[in-house]
Amino acid sequence: MKKPVMGIMGGTFDPIHNGHLIIAETVSNLYNMDKVLFIPSGDPPHKQNLKITEKEDRYEMVKYAIAGNEKFSISRIELDRKGKTYTIDTVKELNDMYPEYEKFFIMGEDAFRQLKTWKDYEKIFSYTNILIVTRSFNMTMDIHKGFDDFCSKIYVTKTPFIEISSTHIREKVEKNQSIRYLVPKEVEDYIKRNKIYINLENSNKNNLVLSELKNTLKPKRYKHVLGVIDAAKKLSLKWNVDQEKAEIAALFHDFSKNMDFEDMTRYAAENEITFDKIESSNKELMHGRIARDIAYKKYFITDEDILNSIEYHTTGRRGMSKLEKLIFLADYIEPNRSFPGVDKLRDISFKNLDKALIDAIDGTIEHLIQMGEIIHPRTLEARNYLIEELSNQRGE
Ligand SMILES: [Fe+2]
Ligand SMILES: [Fe+2]
């Protein structure tokens, strides 16, 4: 009986575009494929120096692009693999998962010509055929050269000449040019909605704030803010929170961190900000409230949720919104943090937001105890509230 046939389409997909889809559709028809598996890459070893878009964004875009084609599906095997991703590991894993399939690993001619630099490239042929897609057969005359033992495993197919490249698309988005008809509509919408390929520093208001932060904060603190923006963006994607709001809240959260105690007290007096007894003696507890005031008055941020997230990022509070939780957590786990257990907490943050937040609050409380500092009641209320919430969720 004929084996079912599977095409394997690996790639960075940054972003996926109509060229990829046309190739997949063409080879799927030519080789009577029953399935084409799209595999967005994790951390590809040969693209070490390039900045690659967040993997969850690339995953979502592929998901949108292939929706509606029943032969196309997506796999997270490379995205979820820790460390560098090598094709040999992928094809081996696929072979274990789909032993009954005849497999064709689809690759461009340029990539094939680099194959010998790949890890354990000879072993790749034990798990899959390789299907080289090319624009012209003339170019591939010598393609089998040096692969004598594997000739029967190498296939070459001519696909329509489509001059679309992901790099070109990214440049167009950055320049605010149309990418209509280059990517599926759903991908175009996703890119717009999530502001992918738009450098944060290109947006005028954020740019202004960033340059002010760069001038006023110590370099380490500025780096921390960029880290919080990054973490907040990832968490907002995971937890379905408006990404723009998360970015703005992260951008402002430590805005007044450079001020000393006198500056803060003066600012508070001039702007009619009142602090409770505990806050008024602690600069750490004042900086969120002051940052909120600056965001509102100087930069006209009026969204109550953003403002609350800025204000309560240090203490938390009872009944925190999703955005508030997210900013508190992003501040705690951003990429520059390196305390013991941070990796585990990063993991939990993408699995259970409330649980992660409780852990972060516990860490904050423990730190305050060690330092002999006062714990603000809002922090304890936040913790108690979250524990109640969590047990309600469990139906206890
Ligand atoms: Fe802070
Ligand atoms: Fe911070």
Q: Is the domain of 235 the same as that of 142?
A: no
- Residues 172 and 204 reside in one and the same domain: no
SS3 helix, strand, coil % of the chain, rounded to 5? 55, 10, 35
Q: Tell me which residue of 243, 248, 242 sits closest to 294, measured CA to CA.
A: 248
Domain-terminating residue out of 192, 215, 248:
192
- Residues with C-beta atoms within 5 A of ion ligand 2: 254, 331
Final residue of a structural domain among 172, 192, 212: 192
Quick one: residue 236, left, alpha or beta (phi over 0 = left, psi -120 to 50 = alpha)? alpha
Are residues 160 and 71 part of one domain?
yes
Distance 254 CA to ligand 1 centre (A): 5
Question: CA 85 → CA 63, 72, 181, distances in Å?
Answer: 20, 22, 31
123 Cα to the center of ligand 1, angstroms: 51
Question: Ligand 1 centre and the CA of 240: distance in Å?
Answer: 23
Number of domains into which the chain is organized = 2
Structural domain ending residue among the three candidates 145, 171, 192: 192
Q: Measured in angstroms, how far is the CA atom of residue 288 from the centroid of ligand 1?
A: 6
pLDDT in tens, the chain (396 residues): 789 999 999 999 999 999 999 999 999 999 999 999 999 998 655 544 445 677 888 999 999 999 999 999 999 999 998 877 889 999 999 999 999 999 999 998 888 888 888 899 999 999 999 999 987 766 666 777 778 778 788 998 888 878 898 988 988 887 778 999 999 999 999 998 887 887 644 466 787 788 889 888 999 999 999 999 999 999 999 999 999 999 999 999 999 999 999 999 999 998 889 999 999 989 999 999 999 999 888 777 888 999 999 999 999 999 999 999 999 999 999 999 999 999 999 999 999 999 999 999 999 999 999 999 999 999 999 999 999 988 887 775
Q: Are 187 and 214 in a shared domain?
A: no
Same domain, 185 and 231: no
152 and 254 inside one domain: no
- Shared domain for 164 and 215, answered yes or no, is no
* 88 and 137 part of one domain: yes
* Ligand 2 centroid, distance to 238 Cα (angstroms): 21
Q: Are residues 73 and 17 in the same domain?
A: yes
Are both 335 and 186 inside the same structural domain? Answer: no
Statement to judge: residues 133 and 256 lie in one domain: no
In a shared domain, residues 310 and 235? yes
Dist. CA 336 → ligand 1 center (Å): 14
Report the CATH number at residue 124.
3.40.50.620
One DSSP character per residue, 122-152 reads HHHHHH-EEEEEES-GGGGTTTTTT-GGGGG
Q: What residue numbers bound the domain in which 168 lies?
A: 5-192
Q: Quote the ligand 2 centre to 337 CA distance (angstroms).
A: 11
**What order of strands is seen across the sheet that includes strand 5-11?**
72-74, 35-40, 5-11, 102-108, 129-134, 154-158
**What CATH number does the domain containing 252 carry?**
1.10.3210.10
